[in-house]
Amino acid sequence: MSFTAAHWGVYEVEGAETGRPSLRPFSRDPDPSPIGLAALEAAQAPNRVRRPAVRLSWIEKGWGANPERRGVEPFVEVSWGEALDLVARALQATIKDSGNRSVFAGSYGWSSAGRFNHAQSQIHRFFNTLGGYVGHVDSYSLGAGNVIMPRIAMSMDRLIAAQTTWDVLAKNTELFLSFGGVPLKNSQISWGMVGRHTVRAGLRSMAEAKVQFINISPVRSDLDSSVPHEWVPIRPNTDTALLLALAFEVYTRGWHDKQFLRTHCVGFDRFAPYLTGEADGIAKAPEWAQQITGVAASKIRELARLVSAKRSFITAAWSLQRAHHGEQPYWATVALAAMLGQIGLPGGGFGIGYGAVNGIGGTPLPFPGPTLPQGRNPVSEFIPVARVADMLEKPGASFSYNGKSYKYPEVDFVYWAGGNPFHHHQDLNRLLRAWRLPKAVVVNEQFWTATAKAADVVFPTTTTFERDDIGFASKEPYLIAMRKVISPVGEARSDYDIFSALARRLGTEAEFTEGRSSQEWLQLLYDRCQQSAQNKGVVLPPFETFWENGVAEIPVDESSHVTFADFRADPSAHPLGTRSGKLEIFSQDIAVRNYPDCGGHPMWFEPAEWLGGPGSQKHPIHLLSDQPHTRLHSQLDHSSYSRDNKVQGREPAVMNLHDAQERGIREGDLVRIFNDRGSCLAGARLSDGIARGVAKLSTGAWFDPESWAVAGSLEKHGNPNVLTADVGASQLSQGCAAQTCLVQIERFLGAVPPVTAFMPPPFAVRKDEGAD
């Protein structure tokens, strides 16, 4: 038996020696995810990219021709030699004419769980040996959080690694007040891989200890239904107003911890006048918040009493900051927890993102895993990750980010590997128009995704099952020998082999490969990891033993951990990474920027779109686009497990029963969801577990426009990002604001167009296929 690893779990491989391999859950995982069981079947699907493919205009007229035809005209399958030569010439000419600053190779995406065949690492290493590239910072998941948290508490990376462990919460927490829930469906996945799914057990251990759970969310299922809890529905994007009202009650009733605010925080004296209304004439009282949030003033007062009287742990989901002004709910969470004075106490304080991925609330390993060195990028230009369309449309335009001003580079060449921007980006109709502006788009892809269909050159890439690798994650107690399960499909090659071949043509092969084969790299990366482990007193077996056994178990220190405990005990000896070394309820660094959309302390700003605004008259439904339970974002959408969940072949849209009845929509109907940015079809699922005026359409349905020729045509498959707004959370973070989205929904009565998302594009045939 051998093993393979993925972002959603480790799986045991049976029957590989017979040529009929199959997967089963990892026997050491207490709560395995079913997502990956369909992955092997999906890897051999008809929509695999089987040969190098070049868009027709590039064959007939040369590279750079007719970029406006991306996604419209057919491809020509060519030999590897011809495709590689074509891309190498285009890259060489681009860099010669415009420099490396004209190449965008950020390649955002989750890519592979294997540490060597991690596409982002491969492409970044390749371009760093070639002179660099324009990259990106932050993530779509945590754009606003990554910028605001280091300024007010600590970096998200540090916080994720050091959040209070589940056992501490079970033993000490009395009230678990959760904004956005702890979604189990999200906890199926994690960066790298998942060896042990632990979130369900963590929640249940707290429930057995009689912890009181309150889930403040528009969606009841954001907290596990098997955990007894109270659901408090709230208007989307208004969590900040509720947090401010809780802070108002705590302050005006004298329940705040004056000493903690004085010794461990800065700026409360600048925040308090805003709460009382002295600063702006508006008291942030429960009655004020009721009009914004839809939560009754009496309930807000009750929550304030509870959170002040009990050992309380306040959590905020990642989804809260994927919104317009997304910095504010995190900042308000920190401020409220600081006022209660329980930060650093066992079971008290705050946490960010429990349930967002597996591992939060777990114990990190004491040493780094195997990682391919990427080298140094000589190009300083970058973009915040969610500003791709801005960059392509507005070269030379200024943008603000994290307190500084920058300019968008002029990009002529886009190279993408290991991701799918036509899944994770917002306002996809705008992106499609922008995508047709640069001279070249090259993609390494396994399947004919929308990103591949909108490229100029597509290199067929192997899946996890078609190559050797090493699986690792920083909070998982295993190293996994990911031995190849099947032969490459068609002519697919690994990213390493593709970039090695390009580097050979561009004169950088020695720097990129260092003379090593893939297997030699695996042994080197393992050996370095083994040495790092040994430095921390952890003994790993020799590489040969590890590769034969398939699994190396890592002894994990299961000791309890309390976030900020050292800081609480002695803030001078253990300062935070903020400007003051303390928790910053008021930030002078942010205040002096005079941003109109992010002030010096937590504030309520009206979102660009919300149910309390004027736009709700035309588009009266707030659309949430969450992580699906049947796949990781768009990965494996074409698998049987994901497709079995669809309604008439479309992504399900969960609607409130009353909202559906008002529109004559029944369970299983096709619906058209639309706003001024676009429209899509979805399948109706009706529920009493979603708030009135709210609908939920999970991300990841492969983008499938009725016509590629016209940006803005009906999307047939249920991709919510034809509807979401492509705006930054604020001038501070420029984070993704996908959760700020108003729509209208109607029953679809027209002729039903077929779903073609999983079909390959059209191909043209030519007589001369080029030399090998």
Q: Which residues contact 34 (CB under 8 A, 6 or more apart)?
A: 641
Beta strand pairing call for 9-14 and 22-25: antiparallel
Cα separation values, 608 from 145, 325, 474, 477, 612, Å: 19, 9, 38, 44, 10
Return the closest-CA partner of residue 563 out of 169, 200, 265.
169
Tell me 632's DSSP state: B
Give me the catalytic one of 8, 63, 80, 108.
108
> Which of 422, 424, 426, 447 is closest to 638 using CA atoms?
447
Rounded to an integer, what is the distance from CA 192 to the centroid of its chain?
Answer: 13
Residue 130, helix vs strand vs coil: coil
Burial grade of 404 (CB within 10 A; 0-12, 13-18, 19 or more): exposed
SS (HEC) of 79-117: CHHHHHHHHHHHHHHHHHHHCHHHEECCCCCCCCCECCC
Is there a catalytic annotation at residue 478? Answer: no
Q: CA angle at residue 680 from 677 to 683, to 5 degrees?
A: 145
User: Which entry of 58, 110, 330, 708 is annotated as an active-site residue?
Assistant: 110
Tokens read off for 191: 């960066």
Instruction: Name the E strands within 633-678.
Output: 652-656, 670-674
Is 408 an annotated catalytic residue? no
Contact 525, 105 (CB under 8 A): no
DSSP single-letter state for residue 431 = H
Dist. CA 678–CA 699, nearest whole Å: 15
Amino acid (one-letter) located at 230:
E
Helix (H, G, I), strand (E, B) or coil at 391: helix
Active site residues: 108, 110
